Amino acid sequence: MIKPSWVVCAAVLAGCGGASSPATVAPTSSAKGAVDGFMQAVADSNQGRMASLWGTAAGPASRTGQPPDYERRVAIMLAYLRNESHRIVSDTPDGGDTRHALQVEIRRQLCSWVVPFTAIKLGDGTWIVSQVDLTAAGNPGQACNPGAGKDTTGQE
C-alpha cells in the first residue's frame, strides 16, 4: 500500500517538469538569512534556488551535485514546506560558531508546525541549510484539522 505522503510526493515530482535552473544566489551572511532565503525559494517554488541554499559542508547541492538525488529531495522538501507564512522562532548556535539550530514556524491552512532546521557556515563564510526535519512539518497530503487536537505549536 502506498502511503498518502508518497502519493503527494509522486504528484509533485510528476508535475515539476524539472527543477528550476540554478540562478546566481546572493551569498548569505547568517544562518537566519540562509533559512529565510530557502523559505522564500519555497514560497516561489524555485527549486534551483532551494538547491543553491541547501547542501553539505562541501557546498550547495546545486554546485556539488550531492547527494546524487538532490533534485528529488528538493522537490519533496518543497511539498512538505509549502505554507501561507513562516517565521523563525529561534536561532541558536549548535556546538560552535559554524552550526546553528533554527526553529521555523510554518502555517498551512489553519494549522502551525515548528520545523527544526540546521544551517552551517561554509569555508567562504556563507551559510546554507544542511538539514530540515520534515517529519515535524505535518503531512501535506492531508487536510489540516485544527479541531482534532494540538499542532506542534501547542495551539488548539
User: Which residues, 6+ apart, have CB-to-CB distance to 39 below 8 Å?
Assistant: 81, 86, 104
101 pairs with which residues across the strands?
A: 92, 118
Q: Alpha-carbon distance 116 to 7, whole Å?
A: 24
User: Which residues, 6+ apart, have CB-to-CB distance to 123 below 8 Å?
Assistant: none
Residue-level pLDDT at 135: 96
CATH number, domain 27-137: 3.10.450.50
Domain layout of the chain by residue ranges: 27-137
63: enclosing H helix or E strand: helix 61-64
pLDDT in tens, 87-131: 999 999 999 999 999 999 999 988 999 999 999 999 999 999 999
Q: What is the pTM of this model?
A: 0.78
Cα→Cα distances 13→53, 71, 88, 109, Å: 20, 9, 28, 22
Cell 560558531 identifies what position?
Answer: 97
pLDDT in tens, 3-56: 444 434 434 443 443 444 444 556 689 999 999 999 999 999 999 999 999 999
